[in-house]
Structures are given as structure tokens and as C-alpha cells.
Chain A
């Protein structure tokens, strides 16, 4: 009972509060904060009201005493979509963190991913920014871990799901969904029989946090609780670089895919068996 009373939801927090909740007390310093009003130059002319931080919070500080930069995406603004400014904030912060490491400062990064991917109103500049983010993760990851957190409720999709796949470690909750393509787009491209975007249990069974963890596509599965998420993120940062980066196991995954009978339509249990075998 005390557990329940002491539990604080992480999912319910906005991007800025999430960053604050993870960082050691009193260490948060936000860069390019909303008062500087660096906003999207593209939204207003399309009749969309821009936001003063473009939906991305960059905060420096420490976690468990280790130097960290957090990039937190605000899922409540335009579905967490990334445009030019928000994307450049994340890429730029990761690039500076990598520079820090080359200068002897061991800055790590934590990405709080609530995003549908590219903001279609800024289409090609969002896509370009996401390519920059991918490049910067791979660069920084040479020195220090980049920890991705998909807590929910937006989930992590599009080009940013690829960014999640590049992280040194990935932490998910029950509320999280992680996938390349949003359910509606798949249904539209491939038909209702292939993917019923309104069948929520079906969507969660395949792309939800629990399934991703059970099939080895995420490293930690955590309850929606601030203290537990902070603890797990801190542990992952302390752990240093992973022995084997998930995105560097082409031979293993090609072997697994070769074993799959791709003829019948797939279900969650088949994926767990294929990817985890006796461990599932």
C-alpha cells in the first residue's frame, strides 16, 4: 500500500518535468529555454501555432553524479514530431556531448523519446535533422552510453524509432510503443487485414514495451514510476558501454530471420521464440 502511495507517474509528466525528475536535485540547467523563443520558422506560415521551445527540452546536469545531457521530446506538442529546430536541438546537443568526450569530459546522453517522427509540416528538414541525430548518437556512443527511454504515452515512431535502435541501452514501460511505422499509416498502405490500427490490444501485443523487452529489442522494462525509472537510467549510465551493441548484430538477426517461416502471418509469441528462444 505504501508502494502505491509513494508511486509517482513518469508518463504523466511533461518533457521538462521528466528531465527534472531524472537529474540530480538542483543540477538542471536548460539550454535554449523557452524564454529565448527559438521557434520553428516554418509552422506559422502554415497556420500552425509554434511553441517557444519547439517541443524539445535540452537540459544539462548530473545523474548519480555523472555528467549528462538530456534531450526530452514533448509528446503533447504536435505529437512529439521533430521539425528543424527541435531536431537541431537534439542533434546539436549530442554533437557537443561527443566533443566534450574528445576534450576529456565524459558527458553521457539520455533521450526521452515521445515522438511520431518527422513533423510533416517541415518534412525534409525534419528528416535531415533525424539523420543528423542518428550520426550524432553513433559518434557519442563510441565514448559513453546513450540511453533511450520510451515511457509513453505517444510512443516512439518513424525515424526516431531508428534513433532508439541506435541507443546503447533502451528502457521501456508498459505504456510504451516502439515501431517504425505508425499503425494508421500501415493500415493505409497495406490494408486492414494486414494491420488494424483500431485494434489496440493487437498493436500493443506486437509493439508494446513488454513485448519489445521480451523479444530482446529493449534492455529494461520498468513500471511507470519516477523513482524506478531514475534508478534504472542511473544504473545503465554507470554500466558504461554495452558489450554488444544491438544494432551491430547483423549476422545474428539475418540468421534468425532465415529460420522464420515468413509465409504465415506473424504473432507475438513467434517473435519471442525466434529472438529469445528458451529465454522467453
Chain B
């Protein structure tokens, strides 16, 4: 039993079977050019590299190499498709436990590395690439901001191990001066604080949630199901735009819409 998650790797391998691997990137990045249905896509996953030169990024965390490497992987697609009318979709397979926490990371500007990744994903979206985030495991905080959160459609698999959050429970409890039990009790009544995917879905940020048979190692039925959903998501982006406005509208995120409306009136 490894100490890190293998979900991202397994889903990457399943989805990218027969795809052409892309090299020249850090070993913690899995990147391949393949298809979803008949659509050409680039698959991108951040995976654990136990030999990572940066010791604080050996368990699948998004660190310096990962941030800048993601930027490079996405920039390549933007450049390659610059003159094409049809832009390849980018599928970010998300299973990221956290950003890397370490002295080297802070000193060398991990914030800038993560900015580069977010920058590239956002520019890909603005250039007309469908960017789809597929959540198969953890999507935590800065790691998710760098890898997935700029997608114009987010799809999450239904499983207790799929979770989106700003901080792990123990740290969040300490920072907010609460016990983990108190935090959990609050999370049950305050949807944005919850760790489960259904509470997250109630915020309107997901385009779709899917149930699968074997989340750790997808069956062929799982693969077919997810592939179909990815195809639909790519098609949906083609018909309804490049921005993130599809995330607005849920009652649990009503203030986000109200603030925008008032700003527009007063602008």
C-alpha cells in the first residue's frame, strides 16, 4: 500500500490508452495526446514521483516543477493550435492532495509557479480550447487552483475520496481555533465548509457528478461512462462559451451573483 494516491495515474492510464505520451516534462506530470470519442485532446495529470528532486513534492503535491511544468504542457497546445480553427480540448485529471509545503518552495516562489499553471489554463480557455477538469481524488486548495480550477467545465466522480477544499481538516481547525469535531459539526450546516462532494455540488461549481463502479481502478464500463461525459462537456463548451459564468446560479452561491449584478448597476 503506497502512502500516496494512485487514482490520478490509473485514470490517466485508462483514459489515455493508445494516446501518444508527451515527454520533456517533469516525471511528476503525465501528459499524452489522444482522443475522447472522436475529439483530439491532451490529457494532463499530476502524479506522485517518489524520486522528485524536491523532497516536499514526492507525494503528488503541486510544487515548483509541477506548476511550471503544467504551464509548459498547456502552452505547447496553445502554440500548436494557434492557427487552427478547431482547438484541442485539455483534460485535467485531478488527484492532488495539496500544494507543496517547504522552505525551498517558498524561497523559489512556488506562488509564481502555480500562477504560471493557472495562467496557461486560463489562456487556453480564452483561446477557445475546451478545458475540462475531471476530479477523481482530492482537489485541494492551491494545488487545485493550479491544476483544474481554470477549467470551463468541472466533472467530479461521486466518492468519499473525491473532495475539494481550501485546507486539510487538522490545519483548518487550528487556524480557525476550533477542534476537528467542532469543524465537522459546522461543516454539516455550512455547505462551503464541508468536505464531501455533494455539499460542494450544491455550490453550483460542478457541471456534472458521476458514479463509477471502481474509482481506484476504472472498469471498462466506468471508462465508457466518463468518456461519454467528457465528450458532452467538450460539446457544451463549444456551444456556450469560454468563461466561468456557468458556475454561477446555485442558491448556495447566490451572493456571488448578487454582488456582480449590483456592481454592474453601479459601474
User: Does A associate with B in a complex?
Assistant: yes
Instruction: Report the separation of the CA atoms of residues A253 and B75 in the bound assembly, to the nearest whole angstrom.
Output: 14
Instruction: Report the separation of the CA atoms of residues A161 and B146 in the bound assembly, to the nearest whole angstrom.
Output: 12
Residues of B within 8 Å of A91, CB to CB, are 260
Is the Cβ of A32 less than 8 Å from the Cβ of B266?
yes
Is the Cβ of B171 less than 8 Å from the Cβ of A189?
yes
Is the Cβ of A162 less than 8 Å from the Cβ of B260?
no
Q: Count A-side interface residues using an 8 Å CB cutoff.
A: 86
**In the complex, how many residue pairs between chain A and chain B have their CB atoms under 8 Å apart?**
260
If A31-B267, A125-B253 touch, does A189 touch B101 (CB 8 Å cutoff)?
A: yes
CB distance from A167 to the nearest CB of B (A): 9
Residues of A within 8 Å of B26, CB to CB, are 254
Instruction: In the complex, identify which listed stretch (A6-14, A19-27, A35-43, A224-232) lies at the interface while the others stay far away.
Output: A35-43
Is the Cβ of B108 less than 8 Å from the Cβ of A257?
yes
Residues of B within 8 Å of A85, CB to CB, are 255, 259
Please report B residues at the A interface, Cβ cutoff 8 Å.
26, 53-56, 64-65, 68-69, 71-72, 75, 98-99, 101-116, 118-120, 122-123, 125-126, 141-142, 144-146, 149-150, 164-167, 171-172, 174-176, 186, 189-194, 200, 203, 205, 243-244, 247, 253-256, 258-260, 262-264, 266-267
Residues of B within 8 Å of A124, CB to CB, are 164-166, 191-194, 200, 203, 205
Is the Cβ of B263 less than 8 Å from the Cβ of A92?
yes
Instruction: Report the separation of the CA atoms of residues A127 and B68 in the bound assembly, to the nearest whole angstrom.
Output: 21
Residues of B within 8 Å of A178, CB to CB, are 111
Is the Cβ of B103 less than 8 Å from the Cβ of A265?
yes
Residues of chain A from 218 to 271 with CB closer than 8 A to chain B in the complex:
245-251, 253-254, 257, 260, 262, 265-268, 270-271
Between A and B, 26 residue pairs with Cβ closer than 8 Å are: A45-B189, A84-B192, A84-B256, A96-B264, A120-B193, A122-B192, A124-B193, A124-B203, A127-B144, A134-B122, A138-B118, A163-B115, A166-B119, A180-B106, A180-B111, A180-B114, A181-B106, A185-B175, A190-B101, A206-B106, A207-B106, A207-B107, A247-B118, A248-B71, A253-B64, A254-B72
Is the Cβ of A262 less than 8 Å from the Cβ of B146?
no
Is the Cβ of A135 less than 8 Å from the Cβ of B150?
yes
If A215-B109, A266-B103 touch, does A120 touch B260 (CB 8 Å cutoff)?
A: no
If A84-B255, A124-B166, A189-B171 touch, does A31 touch B115 (CB 8 Å cutoff)?
A: no
Question: Main secondary structure on chain B at its contact with chain A?
Answer: helix
Residues of B within 8 Å of A245, CB to CB, are 119
Of the listed residues B72, B75, B166, the one surrounded by the most CB atoms of chain A closer than 10 A to its CB is: B166
Closest 9 A-B residue pairs measured CB to CB? Answer: A165-B115, A161-B111, A88-B259, A138-B122, A250-B71, A131-B149, A189-B101, A118-B166, A125-B192
A175: CB under 8 A from chain B? no
If A127-B141, A166-B119, A250-B71 touch, does A45 touch B190 (CB 8 Å cutoff)?
A: yes
Is the Cβ of B260 less than 8 Å from the Cβ of A88?
yes
Instruction: Report the separation of the CA atoms of residues A41 and B190 in the bound assembly, to the nearest whole angstrom.
Output: 10
If A84-B255, A96-B267, A266-B108 touch, does A247 touch B103 (CB 8 Å cutoff)?
A: no
Is the Cβ of A120 less than 8 Å from the Cβ of B166?
yes
Is the Cβ of B101 less than 8 Å from the Cβ of A257?
no
Is the Cβ of A186 less than 8 Å from the Cβ of B104?
no
Instruction: Report the separation of the CA atoms of residues A126 and B125 in the bound assembly, to the nearest whole angstrom.
Output: 22
A34: CB under 8 A from chain B? no
Instruction: Report the separation of the CA atoms of residues A72 and B166 in the bound assembly, to the nearest whole angstrom.
Output: 22
Residues of A within 8 Å of B122, CB to CB, are 134-135, 138-139
